[in-house]
Amino acid sequence: MKIATIVGARPQFIKAATVSRVLRRTDGMHEVIIHTGQHYDANMSEIFFKELQIPEPDYNLEVGSATHGKQTGMMLDRIEQVLLKEMPDWVLTYGDTNSTVAGSLAATKLHIPTAHVEAGLRSFNRRMPEEINRIATDHVSDLLFAPTRNAMELLAREGLTERACFTGDVMFDSILHYKQLVTEKHRPQSIGDLQEYYLATIHRPENTDDPQRLKDIFTAFSKLDKTVVIPLHPRTQKLIGKLNVPAGHNVKIVEPVSYLQMIYLLKHCSMVLTDSGGLQKEAYFMQKMCVTLRDETEWIETLENGWNVIVGADPEKIIRAVNRPQPGAQSKAFGDGKAAEKVVEFLK
């Protein structure tokens, strides 16, 4: 059985690495990796393949940055050419990026069965490009691998029960695997001898493209009791420079870090502040309290017993959430750490 895996952004590399390990040790399975080139610089892409021990992509489509329509259109064209050449038995897509929706559409139009890992997530905010990508991908895919029971329920509401399979979350598998590999050599030099800190990430357009929200978030950061370490995308760094965003003495902006460096930072931080869906979950898996800098979350399971709190960009809410009491017990909402095995079994 030939599986064509389509990835394009860092979170997808992590998820694909987990499933790829199982695929490549399963008799009768052959994987072809197609990298759209959505994340194309070395820090955002190449280093991930090396660090996560993913084989080099069989195809790099080198699409790069563009408007949503242009980027998705270029991906559709280039993915279609590869699929026509390879004619796989299944196309496997991940998450909610333009690479996800382009891969599933290209496969569907060629009548190639397609499966979606991390199906059934909904923020119910249709202004998010990711929300449109998720809905479109789920409705054209043949198999939907749901990471939680809530995702299964949401798929059922949309009439997709027959295609839905509960696997658990491949990101949980990933954390269990990679946290064992993290050592002091993965401590980023950019944080110096810092011992106590909060870990923050900001990348969603709702924050980075709104000057007031960005200023409010950094105003809150500057008033916190510990240093806030922020590995920041170069694009957001430029925006902060242009906007004269207040960065207090306790705000430490560093270059983007590798995945294992991020796990190190997560392992040793006091708390997480983020607008990333993936990092909300990783904080939960590592039993770190989280503050979500958005107005909603797809990962409602992380909100149980106070592990995660949604605050938007309100400085007072951010500060209050950082100072909240310790949370209660965690649930087993994300499966048993064997999601990748279940994905491969369903494909077989």
pLDDT digit string, tens, across residues 71-81: 999 999 999 99
The whole-number pLDDT of residue 237 equals 79
The whole-number pLDDT of residue 192 equals 93
Tell me the CATH class for 184-285+288-322.
alpha beta
Q: Which amino acid is at 5?
A: T
The whole-number pLDDT of residue 249 equals 82
Place of tokens 């909240």: 324
Q: What is the mean pLDDT of residues 4-14?
A: 91
Judge whether 2-179+335-347 and 184-285+288-322 match in fold: yes
Q: What is the mean pLDDT of residues 226-237?
A: 87
Q: What is the mean pLDDT of residues 307-333?
A: 96
Structure tokens at 107: 């496969």
- 229 compared with 64, residue with greater pLDDT: 229
The phi and psi torsions of 305 (rounded to 5 degrees) equal 60, 20
Domain chopping of the chain, boundaries: 2-179+335-347, 184-285+288-322
User: What does the mean pLDDT of the chain come to?
Assistant: 93
Within 10 angstroms of residue 325's Cβ, the number of other Cβ atoms is 7
205 Cβ contact list (under 8 Å, min separation 6)? 129
SS3 of the chain: helix, strand, coil, percent, to 5: 45, 15, 40
Tell me the CATH class for 2-179+335-347.
alpha beta
Are residues 169 and 147 in contact, defined by beta-carbon separation less than 8 angstroms? yes
The whole-number pLDDT of residue 126 equals 93
Q: Is 268 a catalytic residue?
A: no
pLDDT digit string, tens, across residues 204-213: 888 988 989 9
Catalytic entry in 203, 233, 249, 268: 203
In Å, how far from its chain's centre is CA 9?
8
The whole-number pLDDT of residue 39 equals 67
Is 0.85 topped by the overall pTM?
yes
Residue 171 host element (H or E)? helix 170-178
User: What value, to the nearest 5°, has the Cα angle with vertex 340 and ends 7 and 141?
Assistant: 55
pLDDT digit string, tens, across residues 82-121: 999 999 999 999 999 999 999 999 999 999 999 999 999 9
pLDDT digit string, tens, across residues 22-58: 999 999 999 999 999 876 665 556 677 788 888 889 9
| pLDDT for residue 165 is more than 60 | yes
The SS3 of residue 90 is strand
- 331 compared with 290, residue with greater pLDDT: 290
The whole-number pLDDT of residue 45 equals 60
